[in-house]
Amino acid sequence: MLLYIDACVRKDSRTRRLAECLLQTLNQPYEKVELIECDFPKVDEAFLVEKDRLINEGAYSDPLFDYARQFSEADEIVIAAPYWDLSFPTILKAYLEQVNVSDITFRYTPEGMPESLCRAKKLYYVTTAGGEFFPEEYGFGYVKALAQNFYGIQDVELIKAKRLDLEGESVEQILADCEKEIVRRFKAA
Ligand SMILES: Cc1cc2nc3c(=O)[nH]c(=O)nc-3n(C[C@H](O)[C@H](O)[C@H](O)COP(=O)(O)O)c2cc1C
């Protein structure tokens, strides 16, 4: 199963448009999680205590772990997230806090290193930025580090378009060029 995690906020999101082009290109059925519609529990101390209690009891089928189980069972993952304040919207971090559950998506080795319990071997990260200054390390870089080190997903692809909010730029042209690039890179031969 392909899992599509939509962390876009705006109704007319350009990032989502590119992600939908990618999904069409990949041409597989998928499950979608629309993060803006999700009401994640607040990760306060009571939440952490309850989460630990369930893990200690081995109650992995509890609804608290629905997102983590779905993530761990996906064969491929597509994340769409606009570039916000050098990274991505809070909803994506809130989602990852629900997904990062020891004994479901990863576990620690006796040496204290994370080891994957996820099935996926490939993750696509789609993002767009308003400007030209678009360092990758805090948004994409963070997700890539998590994917590779916790979830065992070594193959992480970045799809990005930038300068979408600059005066004089043709947004349509930038998006159309990126869509062409998506088809070129990811259409099955
Ligand atoms: C809260 C917020 C923060 C943003 N931060 C940045 C930023 O740090 N750098 C940048 O180039 N653009 C920034 N932008 C502009 C967006 O990256 C740009 O408009 C992007 O295309 C939005 O994607 P969307 O059309 O999918 O919503 C920001 C926009 C918002 C709303």
pLDDT of residue 188 exceeding 90, the answer is no
Cβ-proximal residues to 138 (8 Å cutoff; 6+ apart), any chain:
86, 87
Please tell me the distance between residue 87's alpha carbon and the centre of ligand 1 in angstroms. Answer: 9
- CB–CB of 163/132 below 8 Å? yes
Please tell me the distance between residue 44's alpha carbon and the centre of ligand 1 in angstroms. Answer: 28
- CB–CB of 13/82 below 8 Å? yes
Q: What is the mean pLDDT of residues 106-123?
A: 97
Q: How high is the mean pLDDT of the chain? A: 97
Dig out the tokens for 111 from the structure.
């040496």
Pocket of ligand 1 (CB under 6 A): 8-10, 13-16, 82-86, 128-131, 134, 164-165
pLDDT of residue 189 exceeding 90, the answer is no
pLDDT of residue 132 exceeding 80, the answer is yes
Cβ-proximal residues to 123 (8 Å cutoff; 6+ apart), any chain:
76, 77, 78, 79, 143, 144, 147, 151, 153, 155, 156, 157
pTM for the model stands at 0.98
Q: What is the mean pLDDT of residues 56-70?
A: 97
Ligand 1, closest atom to CA 85? Answer: 8
Show the domains of the chain with their CATH numbers.
Answer: 2-186 (3.40.50.360)
Residue 172, classified by CB atoms within 10 Å of its CB into exposed (0-12), middle (13-18) or buried (19+), is exposed
Please tell me the distance between residue 36's alpha carbon and the centre of ligand 1 in angstroms. Answer: 16
Ligand 1, closest atom to CA 161? Answer: 21
Where residue 141 falls among pLDDT bands split at 50, 70, 90? very high
Q: What is the mean pLDDT of residues 123-135?
A: 97
pLDDT of residue 173 exceeding 90, the answer is yes
112, 156, 141, 134 alpha-carbon torsion, rounded to 10°? 180
Dig out the tokens for 117 from the structure.
């319990």
